[in-house]
Amino acid sequence: MSTSVGSRLRPRSARQALAMTLLLGAVGAGFAFLAMRQGWAVVRTAPPRPLPASRVSITGSAMVPYADALVVAGLACLVAVLATKRVWRRASGVLLVGLGAGLAGSAFTVSKSAAVAAAAAVVGPASNPGAGSVTQGSGNASPPVPDLVGAAPHVSMVAAGWQALVVAGALALIAAGLIAACSPARLAVMGGKYDAPGGLGEPRPRAERGRAAAGAEPADSASIWEALSRGDDPTSGSRRSAAGA
């Protein structure tokens, strides 16, 4: 009896482990993607009067453009973990660990110079009244910062909380990858064959065994589907009749 109970619990626990692994990785990727969409830096400039001051908020994805690619690649690895098994699942888990580590490291590659460059890309030369004028000093080069020469930009970094969220999401991806890499056999695999309810090795009720032994041929399509649900072959009766004839 304990053996039958264990055989029933193992497939269920394997499916639960796979679902929890995929959920862990998906939540981690969602955290990182959400954090990258928030403002990580504020670039302020104060040009001489009467020109107005500027304030540009820079998102994490603008400062670390390859982080989104790491998140998408991590989600692809999760799909590979779901669709593969054994060696390929282990390889997908190892790759997921590497992507998570890269994502965690990307959260600390931000700098004030990167924020200024991202602000210049956001504002663009068209928004710089000094581009091509005598106040800019040169009419040939595009302005490197979104303000006039003489008004240095002031960068305020506000990324600490979002960096922590990216690291948390990356750690979740790493954990999911470690589970897939270290114990791929404990996770359920996708199967393409039909399994009769209750398993092939479990005994069926005596009444059902009697009906199957009697070779009663199903009368209609509903009876055929019921026989298939029980794991019986609805054509066995007709084959025995043909053999006896």
pLDDT (tens digit per residue) in 44-72? 887 777 777 778 889 999 899 899 999 99
Query: What band does 218 get if pLDDT is binned at 50, 70 and 90?
Result: very low
pLDDT (average), residues 189-212: 51
- At 241 the pLDDT is 52
Report d(CA 37, CA 193) in Å as an integer: 43
Query: What band does 11 get if pLDDT is binned at 50, 70 and 90?
Result: low
Q: Indicate if the pLDDT at residue 143 is higher than 70.
A: no
Task: Choose between 203 and 225: higher pLDDT.
Answer: 225
- At 101 the pLDDT is 96
- At 174 the pLDDT is 96
Report d(CA 51, CA 121) in Å as an integer: 20
Task: Choose between 236 and 32: higher pLDDT.
Answer: 32
In terms of average pLDDT, the best of 20-24, 107-111, 156-160 is: 20-24
Give the mean pLDDT of the chain. Answer: 75
- At 227 the pLDDT is 73
Report d(CA 102, CA 4) in Å as an integer: 45
Report d(CA 197, CA 205) in Å as an integer: 13
pLDDT (average), residues 77-89: 92
Tell me if 33 sits within 8 A of 68, measured CB to CB.
yes
Report d(CA 21, CA 23) in Å as an integer: 5
Query: What band does 147 get if pLDDT is binned at 50, 70 and 90?
Result: very low
**Which residue(s) pair with 45 in the sheet?**
54
pLDDT (average), residues 157-183: 93
Query: What band does 239 get if pLDDT is binned at 50, 70 and 90?
Result: low
pLDDT (average), residues 211-218: 49
CA distances from 83 to 22, 71, 77, 189, 219 (A): 11, 19, 10, 7, 40
- At 145 the pLDDT is 46
pLDDT (average), residues 204-230: 58
